Structure 1
Amino acid sequence: MKSSLKDLSISLKKYFGFNSFKEPQEQIIQSLLNKNNVFVLMPTGGGKSLCYQLPALISEGTAIVVSPLIALMKNQVDAVRGISSNDGVAHVLNSSLNKTEVKKVKDDISMGITKLLYVAPESLTKEEYVDFFKTINISFFAIDEAHCISEWGHDFRPEYRNLRHIIEKIGNAPVIALTATATPKVQDDIQKTLGMTNAKVFKSSFNRPNLFYEIRPKVNPEKQIIKYIKENPGKSGIIYCLSRKKVEELAELLKVNGINALPYHAGLDAKSRALHQDKFLMEEVDVICATIAFGMGIDKPDVRFVFHYDIPKSLESYYQETGRAGRDGGEGHCIAFYDYKDIEKLEKFLAAKPVSEREIGMQLLQEVVGYAETSMSRRKYLLHYFGEEFDENHGLGSKMDDNSLNPKNMINVSEEMKQMLIIVEKTQEKLKLKDLVNIAMGKESVVTKSYKLSTEDYFGIGKDKTDNFWKSVIRQAIVHNLLSKDIESYGVLKLSESGKKFINQPKEILMAEDVDFEKEIGAQNQTLQQSAGENNVSDKKLYEDLKNIRKKVAKENGIPPFAVFQDPSLEDMALQYPTTLSELSNVFGVGEGKAKKFGKKFVDYIAKYVEENDIIRPEDLVIKQVANKSSYKVFIIQSTDRKLDFEDIAKAKDLSMEDLLSEMESIVYQGTKLNIDYYVNELLDEEQQEEIIDFLMDSESDKMSLLLDEFGDEYSEDELRIMRIKFISDVAN
């Protein structure tokens, strides 16, 4: 069916109320109506849905739209029914329907009422449906979220790879494939898999100039999120987390702090998910805390901020999720929290996957690291990833990211890069990142001793630099494809062909002078505090006074200062000015037990300090903690009293060992004892325990980095964490 441009414009106005098309919607629709296969690459908010909805409405027969999510189908069907006088114009066909509902759908299609039928890919495989589809007039097939076809995409669905075979079985009709996120490699994979290499390809620019991209160090992210939301009241936002547990915890924390928020993840029942989604769309809720299950195709134009509490697994995921902000062309702030430890967790998760999946996942992760650690325009990096060039000086949105707004000082590290690659080469590509850093710094470890490396000429070649500097050099080497992580021996770094060439022919490699994310948090907090006003700046004098009080209290109790309150707790006191034990128990890292045991001298001094200095306390900045923050607290205490094995405790609540230890740390740091001697005694002998306890008694801090530096070659991180839990429980509680 060939429509004139005038006819298409009339139909656009009639059905959707728009006076004109966005580029290149009109050409896409005309090409599809001319029975061509079409591939559409258009960013979120670009108007992909209209590219198949309008031609379906004006064509004879029914368009079959393959979609990956029930929530997405529901949203689309509701939208189409909203522009028609007959609800039968659009239907879904998926596992949520009963027999009566399926019959109604089939009857409406047979009578020519239904123009758009949304199906899950699984539904297309059912013989009864395939036989039915053979009997009807199909105008075209639309494959929405087509990146699900590719193993290199961020949301691979194996069932999508069978679509070509199923479509050919049903009958001959044009195919339109649409996606918002596809690198050139993914695009090629989609077209080959669907057998549409001859398709007419339409690409829109991936540039969303109204979105501001920002990476923040992941230090106290909850406080940063709450502060941002309170400074932007009434604005809609989405916060993405990788785990359901974190989604639930964060939503609860936001609610306790007066923020209208709800969770959304695949673990909720369908009714709850639909309810929470509708409340967000209807503006009854300001913030949704969600896993990636939320947002595909959600047509809410005024989302003003998107937070990534956890860094995503791929840049496609990141781009698509940030793309849900500012779809109306208005303000959209995209903030992601980054800590390389999160990347390492994802790498460990990938280690259990099949080799091919592992290789793909690792490469996607390295792109994420490159984006997070880059000092160039984030927009330029992102668009380059999707095969699009960007002028960072004059392009639309050229100053709309943290790096462009506040450029970092850059240094050429090609000489240091060459030194590190030579170390990898001379140690025969057998070592991991930590070992290579130790060699560059001239630090002895079990590895350096076993390989007798301390006498080599390269040992200590970079001791004038910091650990963080060398870690960043290695990560830059990975990002620039000079080093790669060995797939079989997890974490071992190998030289690539490019790396071998680099040793003989070094090229300029620029790296930000300050690449230590831990250090950057200071400047970040200062910016945040200044933006909120003078009263919110942490009180340095009070902080120093509180440190002195902590020393005295520690001496009186014969314990290290950190066992009384940790530094972040003192910093929070100097920000919130708690004057009662009840208020003190809301301070970061202080529970009711700690407040009662050590808190009186602190709150008495703060109350006097506030009065003498006429301080107006910033009560709106007090971050209230969820009561019994550890949702497993009672269970863990009872289980350890019964002397259950830690592995059994974790298994009973479907926790990883890492999660269990985090819960235990939360319990003891807030002032409650845990009886874990029975487990520790099985793990380490008396002499080993004493060695670690003596170190902690004399240490200025109980940071895990210090423990690992001292004991990392002798004990695992879990063993050291367990000993730290025992120490805090025995000595401080």
Structure 2
Amino acid sequence: MNTPNPTVSTVVRSPAAILKQVFGYSEFRDGQETVINAALNGQDSLVLLPTGGGKSVCYQVPALALNGLTVVISPLISLMQDQVSQLQALGVKAAYINNSLNRDEQQQIYQQLHNGLLKLLYVAPEKVLQHEFKERLSHLNISLFAIDEAHCVSHWGHDFRPHYCRLSELKQRFADVPMMALTATADKATRFDIVQQLGLNAPYIHTGSFDRPNIRYTIEEKFKPLAQLLRYLKEQQNQSGIIYCTSRKRVDEIAEKIADAGMNAAAYHAGMSNEQRQFVQTGFARDDIQIVVATVAFGMGINKPNVRFVLHYDIPKSIESYYQETGRAGRDGLAAEAIMYFDPADIGRVRRFFEDIEDEQRRRVEEQRFNAMASFAEAQTCRRQILLNYFSEYQREPCGNCDICLNPPKSFDGTLVAQQALSCVYRAEQRFGLGYIVELLRGANTSRIRDNNHHQLSTYGIGKEHSSEFWLSIVRQLIHQGLLSQDITQGSALRLTEGARVILKGQYALQMAEPRLQAKHVYQDKLAQFNYDKKLFAKLRALRKELADADDVPPYVVFNDKTLAEMAQLMPTNDSEFLKVSGVGFTKLNKYGSPFLHAIRNYLAQS
């Protein structure tokens, strides 16, 4: 049964005026205005924009332009809380209803809804589908439904959630209310499925560019990952970052090692209590915690704009997951890095996880997605081209901002080192794994080698002039090229293949990739483009933290780094000049203008 709205929503404010007066921006980003106009005209839509691409503005502006209530379906409590905090700081009447609120608090929000005092309401899919809740909504003037993280609707999506499948019930009951589905990650099959599952009616589909040119993609061969990680973190000069690991145990271990090294880090995973997880997420958002080491449980709710790096300690299971997780870096549009440590042996280990999936179709989908991820990790071509092509955004030219473009792979005649490694495997009777063979090549004096009398082999120490990392890379390449195989039934013992024969006999010259033994990460001032006063920026940042703590909100809710840098560049001293700073609207001028202008005037007087 279709329940019509009590009243028809009409446009009461100009989108451009809302953008400037409320959000403090002079221009819409590419595609936003068209999506907004579709919603204002009552049309359903599917919006695909990258993380940090401005998806929320696409439904928040219509929410303020129309005279009804916009209901936002969001999958995570933390994401709702963050969005509502930011909207309230802008003077927008927004609220959320979820299990974090007690009965009295929920009743207060219901009363506000009944009195027409709210413009946006954030709810979880489980809540919005309850019969009692839908009955409440049927008595309100709903102007728009926004489905955030819409890929959760699709069986083909990388983060399918069963409750999302039932959201078509909203479309059936509120047939005249436009619905906007938004996601940052969806291939063609997922996009089509979202439209079908939600029952969108002739939707306007906007596919923005998936390119995040400010993110530098780098894949490093995994040699001594903990040492690699600590070396990288010491170069980051107290920048905010996220480190993703595949297991809770590894998360705890690495967080402890980072803390022992004197850095401000915390762990986050599903094995922790809700209170512990909330403490970490809040501390990270408020710049009290610098680095979070986490499983993928730490994800969708991260709206922090100044994450400067995302590092994958292990290979993710799909390009969609990788893209979404790396997209949490540089949401403010400033320079950021996405680093991944990669061991080719991890591919076989991850593939074995899929054997436990009982649904054969689902298993094939997961395997296909991981095969694409493995190919991405092993590729020797521009990382960004591969990512964009995967999402059907074909890019002809290399990006110039990934490890392949900045440091192109070099090849060399690897016949001699290949013969040395293959001979060593043969002399050791093909009974030992990669690590042991590397120790033999380098002439390591270990009890295991002595017990096996392998220190007497002719190949013992023949490669001692090269590092362990060099030989790890060489042996991995021999496996990758099909000259060695790993017998997983015998502790991953290395075995010679038939192809190794011609190499050992010197009948074929083997070209190999020159091992990249240490990645070079050059620290750059991510705000240099503003030509700003760094001392003033530091003072404004300290003031921002003080005001944010007083308001009990994350610092970026006051102003983001980009806005502070522009203040430190333009140095406004009155209200009209302050309004010219990007990210400053009338609400924030009234709320924060006085202390920031006072700080700038004092700084200029003392300079």
Shorter-chain TM-score range: 0.5 to 0.7
Q: Which one-letter code corresponds to 1:514 in the other structure?
A: M
1:392 aligns with 2:397: yes
Paired residues of 2:96 and 2:121 also in contact (CA < 8 A): yes
Between structure 1 and structure 2, the one with the greater Rg is 1
- For 2:368 and 2:409, the matched residues in 1 are separated by 26
Q: Which residue of 2 aligns with 1:82?
A: 89
2:316 aligned to which of 291, 308, 312: 312
Choose the corresponding residue for 2:79, options 59, 72, 86.
72
Partner of 1:231: 235
2:385 match: 380
Supply the distance in 1 between the matched residues of 2:388 and 2:83 (Cα, whole angstroms): 28
Note the aligned Cα RMSD (angstroms).
2.7
Aligned in 2, Cα 1:171/1:104: closer, same or farther, shift over 3 Å?
farther
- The residue aligned with 2:334 is 330
User: Contact conserved, 2:69 with 2:142, CA < 8 A, in 1?
Assistant: yes
1:518-557 matched pairs, under 5 angstroms: 520=515, 523-525=516-518, 527-528=519-520
Quote the residue 1:514 is aligned against. Answer: 512
Letter in 2 for 1:472: H
Partner of 2:176: 172
Distance 2:88 2:278 in 1: 18
Distance 1:468 1:276, change over 3 A: closer
Paired position in structure 2 for 1:263:
267
Once residues 178 and 3 of structure 1 are traced to their aligned partners in structure 2, the CA distance between those partners, rounded to angstroms, is: 22
What residue number does 1:405 align with?
Answer: 406
After superposition, the Cα gap between the structure-2 partners of 1:60 and 1:468, relative to the gap in structure 1 and judged at 3 Å, is same
- Is 2:33 the partner of 1:40? no
2:371 counterpart residue number: 366
C-alpha deviation, 1:17, in angstroms: 1.4
**Secondary structure, aligned partner of 2:166:** helix
Residue 153 of structure 1 deviates from its aligned partner by 1.5
In 1, are the aligned partners of 2:79 and 2:303 still within 8 Å (CA)? no
CA distance in structure 2 between the partners assigned to 1:334 and 1:467 by the alignment? 26
Instruction: State the shift of 1:358 in Å.
Output: 1.0
Give the stretch that moved more between structures: 291-300 or 217-226: 291-300
Instruction: Indicate the residue corresponding to 2:223 in structure 1.
Output: 219
Aligned-partner Cα distance in 2 for 1:513–1:72: 50
Q: Which runs of 5+ in 1 are unaligned?
A: 412-436, 447-465, 476-511, 533-733
Q: Are 2:269 and 2:297, in contact at CA under 8 Å, matched by a contact in 1? A: yes
1:60 to 1:513, Cα distance in 2 relative to 1, 3 A: farther
Q: TM-score, normalised by structure 2?
A: 0.67
Partners in 2 of 1:285 and 1:445 — Cα distance? 48
Q: Contact between 1:45 and 1:327, CA under 8 Å: does it hold in 2?
A: yes
**Aligned mates of 1:374, 1:341 — CA distance in 2:** 15
Deviation at 1:170, TM superposition (A): 4.9
Residue aligning to 2:458:
none
Measured after TM superposition, the shift of residue 2 of structure 1 is 6.5
In 1, are the aligned partners of 2:171 and 2:199 still within 8 Å (CA)? no
Asked if structure 2 preserves the Cα contact closer than 8 Å seen for 1:69 and 1:120, the reply is yes
The one-letter code matched in structure 1 to 2:313 is Y
1:103 equivalenced with 2:107 (yes/no): yes
1: CA distance between counterparts of 2:108 and 2:172? Answer: 26
CA contact (8 A) 2:11 2:67 kept: no
Q: Residue 29 in 1 paired to residue 36 in 2?
A: yes
One-letter amino acid of the structure 2 residue matched with residue 384 of structure 1? N
| Displacement after TM superposition at 1:10 (Å) | 1.1
Judged with a 3 Å threshold, the aligned counterparts in structure 2 of structure 1 residues 382 and 76 are, in CA distance, closer, same or farther, namely: same
Would you say 1:252 and 2:256 are equivalent positions?
yes
Of Structure 1 and Structure 2, which has the larger fraction of its residues in helix? 1
Aligned to 2:480, which of 472, 475, 492? 472
Partner of residue 637, structure 1: none
1:350 counterpart SS class: helix
User: Equivalent residue for 2:461?
Assistant: none
Correspondence list, 1:471-510, <5 A: 471-472=479-480
CA deviation after TM superposition for structure 1 residue 171, in Å: 5.0
Paired with 2:262 and 2:158, the residues of 1 have a C-alpha distance of: 35
Letter in 2 for 1:137: N
CA contact (8 A) 1:63 1:115 kept: yes
Match of 1:631 in 2: none
Counterpart residue number, 1:63? 70
User: What displacement does 1:42 show?
Assistant: 0.3
**CA distance 1:30–1:251, shift in 2 (3 Å):** same
Q: Does the 8 A contact of 1:409 with 1:513 survive in 2?
A: no
Cα separation, 2, equivalents of 1:215 and 1:325: 16
Shift of 1:469: 5.4
Structure 2 letter corresponding to 1:14: Q
SS at match of 1:201: strand
Compared CA separation, residues 3 and 58, structure 1 to 2 (3 A): closer
Distance in 2, Cα, partners of 1:260 & 1:315: 29
The aligned counterpart of 2:19 is 12
Measured against aligned partners, the alpha-carbon deviations of 1:240-288 in whole angstroms (never above 9, x if no partner) come to: 1122222121111111100101112223222322221222122222111
Q: State the secondary structure of the residue aligned to 1:343.
A: helix
Say how many residue pairs are matched: 433
**Counterparts in 2 of 1:474 and 1:28: CA distance versus 1, 3 Å:** farther
Amino acid corresponding to residue 389 of structure 2 in structure 1: H
Matching residue's letter, 1:222: L
AA aligned opposite 2:392: G
CA shift for structure 1 position 361: 0.8
Show the counterpart of 1:53: 60
* Equivalent residue letter for 2:217: Y
Whole-angstrom CA distance in 1 between matches of 2:16 and 2:260: 50
1:152 corresponds in structure 2 to 156
1:356 matches 2:357: no
Gap regions ≥5 residues in structure 2: 1-8, 413-421, 432-473, 484-509, 524-607
SS at match of 2:255: helix
1:67, 1:73 within 8 Å by CA — same for their partners in 2? yes
Match of 1:325, SS? coil
* Aligned equivalents of 1:2, 1:109: Cα separation in 2: 18
How far apart are the structure 2 equivalents of 1:474 and 1:386? Answer: 30
With over 3 angstroms needed to count, the CA separation of the structure-2 counterparts of 1:383 and 1:289, relative to structure 1, is same
The code of the aligned residue for 1:22 comes to: R
What does 1:138-149 align with in structure 2 at a 5 Å threshold?
138-149=142-153
Question: Which residue of 99, 111, 117 corresponds with 1:113?
Answer: 117
Q: Quote the Cα distance in structure 1 between the aligned partners of 2:197 and 2:478.
A: 43
Please give the secondary structure, in 2, of the residue aligned with 1:206.
coil
Give the AA of the match of 1:242.
T
Measured after TM superposition, the shift of residue 318 of structure 1 is 0.5
Paired letter, 1:373: E
Q: Is the 8 A contact 1:309 1:337 kept in 2?
A: yes
Q: State how far apart, in whole Å, the 2-side matches of 1:251 and 1:122 are.
A: 33
TM-score of the superposed pair, with normalisation by structure 1: 0.56
Provide the C-alpha distance between the structure 1 equivalents of 2:511 and 2:171, rounded to a whole number of angstroms.
55
Deviations 1:295-317 (A, max 9, x none): 32523222111100111111011
Shift of 1:473: 5.1
Name the counterpart of 1:123. 127
Which residue of the partner structure matches residue 287 of structure 2? 283
1:467 CA drift (Å) = 7.6
Rounded Cα–Cα distance in structure 1 between residues aligned with 2:24 and 2:275: 32
| Contact 2:76–2:301, Cα closer than 8 Å, also in 1 | no
- Using the TM superposition, give the Cα deviation of residue 45 of structure 1 relative to its aligned residue in structure 2, in angstroms: 0.8
CA distance in 2, matches of 1:356, 1:368: 19
Question: One-letter code of the match for 1:37?
Answer: D
User: Relative to structure 1, is the Cα distance of residues 197 and 225 closer, same or farther in structure 2, using a 3 angstrom cutoff?
Assistant: farther
In 1, the alpha carbon distance for the partners of 2:136 and 2:481 equals 60
The CA distance in 2 between the partners of 1:468 and 1:19, in whole Å, is 53
Describe the shift of the 1:253–1:469 C-alpha distance in structure 2 as closer, same or farther (beyond 3 A).
closer
Equivalent position of 2:165 in the other structure: 161
How far did 1:410 drift? 7.5
- Identity value in percent: 41
Mapped contact 1:2–1:34 kept (Cα < 8 A):
no
| 1:2–1:30 CA contact under 8 A, matched in 2 | no
Q: Which gives a bigger RCO, structure 1 or 2 (Cα 8 Å, sep 6+)?
A: 2
Residue pair 1:130, 1:170 contacting (<8 A) in 2 also: no
